[in-house]
Amino acid sequence: MISFDSAAVVAPDGTEILRPITLTLTEPRVSIVGANGSGKSTLARLINGLIEPTTGSVRINDLYTVRDGAEVRKAVGFVFTDPAAQLIMPTVIEDVELSLRRTHKYPRDRRTAAIAALERFGLEALAERSVHTLSGGQKQLLAIATVLSTSPATLVADEPTTLLDLHNSMRIGDLLMSLAQQVIVVTHDLELAARADRTLVVADGSIIFDGDPAEAIAHYRASVTQ
């Protein structure tokens, strides 16, 4: 369960990036939509402590993102729009192994777990490839496989399909919707957003609609055409 209690983010220059938000997210799939610069990424980053609230608090069950940062980051995996931001090792398998270094102490166990993570997403044939040679879709799948290899309870994905073609965005969308984890997805892909259980519409640092995805998207469309 993710809880925001009057959580607000103010930039160092005093700009209000996110106005105080109080809500609880228990649904398996939550989508977040809204215009560029409305505050979606800031909201998503609050969930795993990448951004700390200036006032108020954010909790994952009993863990506070500020007080319990390390535990929160174990519980909440984060997938970035551009997988290059999180794929840093020379080869595919080394990248997965890097994320397993805390949970698997011995190199042999790490290798076994990394191979299993790649197999789960049909990436095992790419294990020894340089991450730079992968296609955009393969990179995004690998980024998700890497994050999920540590078994976080919650996955936050910030525009995970933005750089992908139709086939790959459908593939990533299907994957996100089929995971056992709670998934919070920030997206401009309204078809993907519509597949959630609950949708938040963000505008100018506030949540202007919170509820049924179809109604939320209609509200978002109406707010754009006004």
Ligand X SMILES: Nc1ncnc2c1ncn2[C@@H]1O[C@H](COP(=O)(O)OP(=O)(O)OP(=O)(O)O)[C@@H](O)[C@H]1O
Shortest Å, Cβ 117 to ligand X: 28
Whichever of 86 and 91 has its CB closer to ligand X, that residue is 86
Q: Which is nearer to ligand X, 10 or 194 (CB)?
A: 10
Q: What is the largest CA-CA distance in the chain?
A: 59
Give 21 or 117: the residue with its C-beta nearer to ligand X.
Answer: 21
Give me the least distance between CB of 88 and ligand X, in Å please.
22
Partnered with residue 101 across adjacent β-strands are none
Residues 6+ apart with CB under 8 A from 72: 48, 49, 60, 63, 64, 65
Nearer to ligand X, 13 or 62 (CB): 13
CB of 15 to ligand X, least distance (A): 5
Is residue 207 involved in binding ligand X (CB under 6 A)?
no
CB of 37: closest distance to ligand X in angstroms? 4
| Helix, strand, coil percent values for the chain (each to nearest 5) | 40, 25, 35
Distance, in Å, from the CA atom of 226 to the CA atom of 223, rounded to the nearest integer, reads 5
Q: In whole angstroms, what separates CA 123 from the centre of its chain?
A: 20
Residues in binding contact with ligand X, number by CB under 6 A: 11
Instruction: Return the residues of window 8-47 that contact ligand X according to CB under 6 A.
Output: 11, 15, 17, 34, 36-42
Residue closer to ligand X by CB (options 41, 99) is 41
What's the CA gap between 17 and 11, in Å, rounded?
7
User: 45 by DSSP, 3-state: which?
Assistant: helix
Binding site for ligand X (CB under 6 A): 11, 15, 17, 34, 36-42
